[in-house]
Amino acid sequence: MLQQIIMALGAGLASAILFVVPAKGSALALALGLIAPLPLMIAALGQGERIGAATGVLGAAAIAIVLDPHVGGFYLITVAIPALLLCGMARRPVLGAPGYLLMACAVLATLLAWSGVALEALTYPSLDAALEDIVNRLTPIAASILGAPENPLSGLDPREFATWVALGMTPAAAAWGVAGLAINLWLAARISAISGQLPRAWPDLPATLRLPRWGFALLAGALAACAVAGLGRLLASAAVAALVVAFALHGLAALHALTRGRSARPAILVGFYTLCFALFPWPLLVAAGLGLADVARPFRRAPAVSIQPK
């Protein structure tokens, strides 16, 4: 019991530190902030939901005491609760299927992006006022970026460019949220499996990762809602971005499975991932299309391989 208490305390403090580090503003600090849920997820997957919940509460309390209670509450809502929900699902055989977990990442990332919109709505008299203020703050930055002669976008109006950036912040947050939650959950599960504390067998993701068919309905509904003007379009665009990233990750898993046993597999995978980095994000749309096709008419994948982490 003492060992679990010490682990919860250490993981909570580590998660809290990683959460506040991005305030430093450096690239390394921002990168570390992306793995703020990782210590909490490791504790929840390896020791159970109660230890995970204790870790989240301790992390939130530490932030509230050192910084501000509102920041501690923000950590609890945006980091601790999503991490605990995912880990709770992952520990259960049915809900913890890779496809359901990935869909849960998309839903949670969408809700977190929507909560950001709600926060702006509570801070400002209206969403239009919030957008106006954000655009006013971004316009000088856009002007300095577009003012460079070598910039191919130098002919654009800075305010118009700032408006597009402001409108894209919510969908971008949802998209990055899916990737962040999925990567943190994968890392936590991998670490727990290697340490022998993962309560389930390590899954063969290329063979088993397939989103549920009702993901089609969610994506179709979100795309249809984008036709609504104003707030509805903003919220729907966040859902579309999150679901597209989820289907892209599904497509990447399918690509890994379909190329198994082929001599050209290394060249295909290296080439595609190189394109992803060079032409980001367009190749991911191809991966999303592959994921959608796999859901509509599942490809014949190789049987799952038993993986025993060491």
CA distance 18 to 56: 13
Angle at 162 between CA 147 and CA 226, to 5 degrees: 145
- For residues 38 and 43, what is the distance between their CA atoms, to the nearest angstrom? 9
State residue 109's pLDDT score: 96
Specify whether the backbone of 172 is left (phi greater than 0), alpha (psi in -120 to 50) or beta. Answer: alpha
Confidence class for position 84, pLDDT limits 50, 70, 90 = very high
Structure tokens at 204: 């063969």
pLDDT of amino acid 248: 97
259 three-class SS: coil
DSSP state of 77: I
Q: Is the peptide bond before 303 cis (omega within 30 degrees of 0)?
A: no
pTM here is 0.89
pLDDT surpassing 60 at residue 309: no
- What local confidence, expressed as pLDDT, does residue 310 receive? 43
